[in-house]
Structure 1
Amino acid sequence: MPYGRRAALQKAALGIGVLLAGTTGARAQGRELRLLMLGDSITAGYGLARGEGPPARIEALLREKGRNVRLLDAGVSGDTTAGGRARLEWALADRPDAVIVALGGNDALRGLTPAQMRTNLTAILDGLAARNIPTLLAGMIAPPNLGAEYGREFAAVFSDLAAARPQIVFYPFLLEGVAGEPTLNQPDRIHPNPRGAQVLAERLLPAIETLLDRVASSPAG
């Protein structure tokens, strides 16, 4: 390859590298986005040390990718969708730019009806939509001991709500890749251990990045 052409290509490649670095740096240095995670004990990091729960792991992964995002941990152990609905206004006091709704597990554990869960999640999602807050809905799966019919109705709540709201980001199962794996869960076989929380965060990350990309284009953003 002639020297002049090779030098030109090297210069162009260098320019692209600088441009990409500048873009990443600009994103990292931009306004800090606030991402609220409304959930239960999974979100709250039950049984984990501070900084080991899903919100902390998600924030760390986002910052590693150059995204200036602060996770607002709104997880309350034992909370059902009714509890999340009741404290939604309080949870929004920090004016998040986007919200992850990760509730439903305790509804199943307490044997509450899928119809009740549907009503509560509908109210939560409608409340967020009314405020033009980009939202990610993370689904849950009912324990098999509650029966196949209950399990189908339970799962359908999440898929139906997502189908009716194409503007939200849908992640079908919050514990995908973690549930049922002994090495990723605490002895209770319900709550992720530190490694499980990391896997949860890694798997959820692409959907969260899709959510964050919608912040700038939303009326609230």
Structure 2
Amino acid sequence: MRILAPLLLALAFAVPAQAEPLKIMAFGDSLVHGYGLPAGEPFPAQLEARLQDEGYGEVTVLNAGNSGDTTAAGLARIGWALADDPDAVIVVLGANDGLRGIEPANTMQNLDGLLEELERAGIPVLLAGMLAPRNLGSDYAEAFDAVFPNLQAKYDPIYYPFFLEGVATVPELNQADGIHPNAEGVATIVENIFPKVEELILRVRERSAAAEG
């Protein structure tokens, strides 16, 4: 029985279906909000559909994106966003900081404050990184790109290095502006980030089991 109990616990975590409803908040800018996309096609909606297709049961992915948000704007509204009581949060911020050439030190400070608030609330986090536009120069790009791995090292969220991996600079996966993914581009993002979302759900379950035990 001593050997069997840990085995049964491991198997429980390995099964996708979740007995209790799960609420994940996607928190970010237009890349979350779904700029230019019809209903059902933004990142939160496509991710929710994928989770349900994979057998995760009653999962809701809240769309807490706000087009145009910088990391400063995200920090300013994270407190009231948490009134929706999510079980986990996916943070997708930084793109507008890079487009506006905001000092990477400010981006770091804002995201640090946001992650600190989520840590105090005991909410598991998936941090999606961003890369700086290369036309701002190598010094800026190096400093900006370092923000996200530095935050990962400090707070240990589930970490996905580049939210637009496989989509950025691919014309057929973006809208006419070349910045915002189209529906197919969002589907590619969901496909690529999905293993990290599964890690996030596992972390939620582990914390829940620890709290109950």
The TM-score normalised by the length of structure 1 is: 0.86
Equivalent in the alignment of 2:74: 84
Equivalents in 2 of 1:179, 1:172: separation in Å? 13
Equivalent in the alignment of 1:165: 155
Equivalents in 1 of 2:206, 2:120: separation in Å? 16
User: Does 2:197 correspond to 1:192?
Assistant: no
- Contact kept, 8 Å, 1:40 with 1:77, in 2: the verdict is yes
**How far off is 1:62 after superposition?**
0.6
- Contact kept, 8 Å, 1:132 with 1:218, in 2: the verdict is no
Moved over 2 A (4+): none
Please point out which of 35, 40, 51 is paired with 2:29.
40
Alignment of 1:117-128 (within 5 A): 117-128=107-118
Equivalents in 1 of 2:205, 2:44: separation in Å? 22
Alignment-mate amino acid for residue 150 of structure 1: Y
The TM-score normalised by the length of structure 2 is: 0.89
Aligned-pair identity (%): 50
Please point out which of 140, 158, 175 is paired with 2:130.
140
Alignment-mate amino acid for residue 47 of structure 2: I
Equivalent in the alignment of 2:7: none
**How far off is 1:93 after superposition?**
0.7
Alignment-mate amino acid for residue 166 of structure 2: G
Give the greater-gyration-radius structure (CA): 1
Alignment of 1:65-104 (within 5 A): 65-68=54-57, 69-104=59-94
Post-superposition Cα deviations, 1:34-62, rounded to whole Å, max 9, x if no partner, equal 00011100100100001101111111111
Equivalent in the alignment of 1:201: 190
**How far off is 1:165 after superposition?**
2.1
Equivalent in the alignment of 1:153: 143
CA-atom RMSD in angstroms: 1.6
**How far off is 1:89 after superposition?**
1.0
Alignment-mate amino acid for residue 182 of structure 1: P
Q: How many residues align?
A: 197
Equivalents in 2 of 1:134, 1:74: separation in Å? 16
